[in-house]
Amino acid sequence: MRAMILAAGRGNRLRPLTDHCPKPLIQVQSKPLIVYHLENLSKAGVTQVVINLRYLGEQILAYLGDGKKWGMQITYSSEAKELEVGGGIFNALPLLGKDPFLLVNGDIWTDYPFVKLPSHPKGLAHLVLVDNPLHNPEGDFSLNKEGQLSREPYQKLTYSGLSVLHPALFSDCVEGTSFRLAPLLDKAAAKQALYGEHYHGEWTDVGTIERLQELEKKLASKLIESKMF
- List domains and CATH numbers for the chain: 3-228 (3.90.550.10)
Cis preceding-peptide flag for 16 (omega within 30 of 0): yes
Pairing of strands 142-143, 149-150: antiparallel
Q: What is the pTM of this model?
A: 0.93
- Are 105 and 158 in contact by the 8 Å Cβ rule? The answer is no
Pairing of strands 3-6, 101-105: parallel
- Are 27 and 225 in contact by the 8 Å Cβ rule? The answer is no
DSSP lists the bridge partners of residue 48 as: 73
Q: What is the pLDDT along the chain (229 residues), one digit of tens a residue?
A: 999 999 998 888 888 888 999 999 999 988 999 999 999 999 999 999 999 999 999 999 999 999 999 999 999 999 989 999 999 999 999 999 999 999 999 999 999 999 999 999 999 999 999 999 999 999 999 999 999 999 988 889 999 999 999 999 999 898 889 999 999 999 999 999 999 999 999 999 998 999 999 999 989 877 555 554 4
Residue among 56, 163, 150 at smallest CA distance from 103 = 163
- Are 8 and 90 in contact by the 8 Å Cβ rule? The answer is no
Pairing of strands 48-53, 73-78: parallel
